[in-house]
Each structure stands twice: as structure tokens, then as C-alpha cells.
Amino acid sequence: MPLHLYAVVRGTHPLPGDLTGVRDGKVRLVGSESTGLAVAVTDVPDGAEVTEDDAVRHLDTLTALLPGGPVVPLRLGTVAPDEDSVRAELLDDVDHDLGARLDGLEGLVEVHVDAADDEDARLRAILADDPGLRAGRDAAGSAQGTLDQQVRLGEMVAARLAEHRAADADRVLAHLAPLTLQDSPRGSDDGWVLRHAFLLRADDMPAFDVALDDLQHDYGDAVAFSRAGPLPVFSFTVLSGSGRSRWGW
């Protein structure tokens, strides 16, 4: 039966006794005696396609593994035909330097932070603070207003909105980044104040949460902050070797 692969861990990595993953399969370790490494896997039906529920269970499983030690996540949908192929093509492939990578992730976690503003409230504040924009709005909305005036007004408002969001993003990063080791944007932030991933020591999570709470208090209802994590390190893991492979590097 094919195997769904979740992550590379040490061979001694403890598993929660009731941990289940994709398709409610019981999570187990496939280990390599030569390297002392293992992969967390579950059995899956042959030819099964990845579903949205599988994606949720995959991430939940990775998160459940994290308290037991460092985790190198594998890409969602990574499947092996059997245990022998896992050992031969992944665990015993010294080019990946997995043992050193796991050692480097000891005690580290990833946290995702999203910050979203109330766009209508933000636009009202921008108009209230900018007499030029208010005049342009009044002119564009008058009986004599032209399409060109409306277009220019829209462009000016969009530019001011982007400037205000960028300033807030800089403020948020200045507050959070000193508590972390690295940070990186997470895809497009269009329509957001900030969407970022942070790499930090697990021991620094309480201080990070306090800093995030302070930001929420300062911004009040103007900006809503959300945090996901602690998570295994996805965004800051680069393995040595020949580049991206079927295993998700």
C-alpha cells in the first residue's frame, strides 16, 4: 500500500499514541538504521487524490510532531510506493544532509502573522487627513465631474492607502522582528497590512505573543492581528543537494 509522507525526523522521535493523519491513518515512523533518521508516514489508498481535508490533516500532523523534536516537513501530496523506497531514495541519500538540517532546526519554530485593516475606516481616515483628496473627491462627485477626475482620484486614494499600509507594516516588523531570527513575506500582501512568516526560538514564543498583544492593543479595532503557530519550519528551510526533488525539497 502506498505511503503518505509527512516529515523527516530523528529515529527516536516520540509519537503521540493516538496520532492519526490523512484518511485517519495511524501515523508511524519508517526508519533507517544507517542514518538514524525516520519519516512519519501513514498508509493511503492506491491512486488517492489530495483533498482539502488531506491538506488540513497533513498540517495538523506536522504540528503534532513538533513538540517531540525538530521536523523537516515534506510537501503535501508526497507519496512513496513502499517503505524500501523511502529508505533508499530519501533517508539514505546523503546528499540531502538531513541529519545536519534537523540539528539546525533544534528548538526553532515558525509563526505566521496576518494583519488586516478595516479598509472603509482606513479610507475615511485618509480623506479626513488630506484636504487635497477631499477636494478631489468633491470635484469628481460634482455635476461637472469628469471620468478622468474620478480615475485620478481613485489612483490617488489607492496610492495613499498603500502608503499607510506600508507604514503600518514597517511599524509591526520593527516591533516583532527583534524577537525573531528571520522573517519573510508570505505571498502577496495586496489588501493586507502584513502577511509574514517569522523564524524564532520556541522559548521566545511567550515574548513574541506579548509583543503581538501589545500591537493589537495599540491599534484597537483599526487592525486585526492573527497568529498561526508554532509551526514546523517551512519558509526558512533550504536543503543541500541537487535541488527540488520528488520529495518536496
pLDDT in tens, 53-102: 999 999 999 999 999 999 999 988 889 999 999 998 888 876 567 888 88
Exposure class string for 30-61: b at 16+ Cβ within 10 A, else e: bbbeebebbbbbbebeeeeeeeeebeebbbeb
User: Is there a single domain that holds both residue 99 and residue 114?
Assistant: no
What does the pLDDT average to over 220-229?
91
User: Is there a single domain that holds both residue 187 and residue 134?
Assistant: yes
How confident is the model over 12-66, as pLDDT tens digits?
Answer: 999 988 899 998 889 999 999 888 999 999 998 887 788 899 999 999 999 999 9
Last residue of a domain, one of 51, 76, 105: 105
Q: pLDDT higher for 158 or 235?
A: 235
User: Is there a single domain that holds both residue 163 and residue 210?
Assistant: yes
User: Is there a single domain that holds both residue 99 and residue 12?
Assistant: yes
Check pLDDT > 50 for residue 247.
no
User: Whole domain around residue 157: which residue ranges?
Assistant: 109-231
Check pLDDT > 60 for residue 226.
yes
Last residue of a domain, one of 74, 105, 136: 105
Check pLDDT > 60 for residue 118.
yes
User: Is there a single domain that holds both residue 26 and residue 98?
Assistant: yes
User: Is there a single domain that holds both residue 147 and residue 204?
Assistant: yes
User: Is there a single domain that holds both residue 128 and residue 226?
Assistant: yes
How confident is the model over 159-215, as pLDDT tens digits?
Answer: 788 888 889 999 999 999 999 999 999 877 777 899 999 999 999 999 999 999 999
**How many domains does the chain contain in total?**
2
User: Is there a single domain that holds both residue 222 and residue 119?
Assistant: yes
Instruction: Please report the pLDDT score of residue 98 as a whole number.
Output: 82
User: Is there a single domain that holds both residue 135 and residue 100?
Assistant: no
Instruction: Note whether residue 247 is domain-resident.
Output: no
Last residue of a domain, one of 46, 79, 105: 105
User: Is there a single domain that holds both residue 120 and residue 217?
Assistant: yes
Instruction: Note whether residue 237 is domain-resident.
Output: no
What does the pLDDT average to over 110-119?
91
**Residue with cell string 503534532:** 64
Instruction: Note whether residue 141 is domain-resident.
Output: yes
Q: What is the mean pLDDT of the chain?
A: 84
